[in-house]
Structure formats: C-alpha cells, structure tokens
Amino acid sequence: MKDGFFRTVYQVTACIPVGKVATYGQIAFLAGRPKAARFVGLALAVAPRELELPAHRVINRRGELAPPEIFDGRQRQLLENEGVGFLSDGRINLKEYLWDSQFP
C-alpha cells in the first residue's frame, strides 16, 4: 500500500495501550519502515492534535523521554499517571513497560 508513512505512524501510535510505552524504532517497524525511526518522532511532532495521539508514550531506545518543550515538561507526569514507573536515572524500564506489540 502506498499511503503516507506518517499516517500509518499515527495509526500505530494510537494503538499503544495505557501503561505501556513504545520506541520510535518499534513504531517505524510496525509502520513498515524499520529504518525510518527518525521520522516517527517528526511525524508525531506535526501530527494534528485532534487525533489525540498518545505521543507521550513514544520514547527513544534508551528509555529517555522527548525534550521537555515538546510536552511542556509534563511527559513524565503523564506517564507516571498512567502507571509507568521510572528508574532512578530518570529513564523508563523498557523491560517492564515496553509495549509488546505482537502480530496476529
């Protein structure tokens, strides 16, 4: 299917369950472009707010959050509010909270 890659990213992102997080590379993989992890975050950056995407559940491979300006410094609070725990380093324990997206 040849549709916009960004639009697919929005659909995948919308499927992230509460209390879990997904990495850019993971979403890129699910969107069919494993090497396009760069543009996942950018896609979310330009995503319309009407979609109400849980972009705060999308983090990098290290378990670190996006720059504070993106979510006005509330990303960590949002995730903690959803039950996501943080390590003492300020990172997320991906072993526990990474979204295990498995294909049907």
Smallest gap from residue 39 Cβ to DNA (A): 4
* DSSP summary character for residue 21: B
Residues of this chain that bind DNA (CB under 7 A): 4-6, 23-25, 28, 33, 35-42, 44-47, 55-56, 58, 60-62, 66-67, 70-71
Round to whole Å and give the CA distance between 15 and 24: 14
Nearer to DNA by Cβ, of 19 and 78: the residue is 78
Angle between helices 5-14 and 37-45 (to 10 degrees): 80
* DSSP summary character for residue 98: B
Smallest gap from residue 47 Cβ to DNA (A): 6
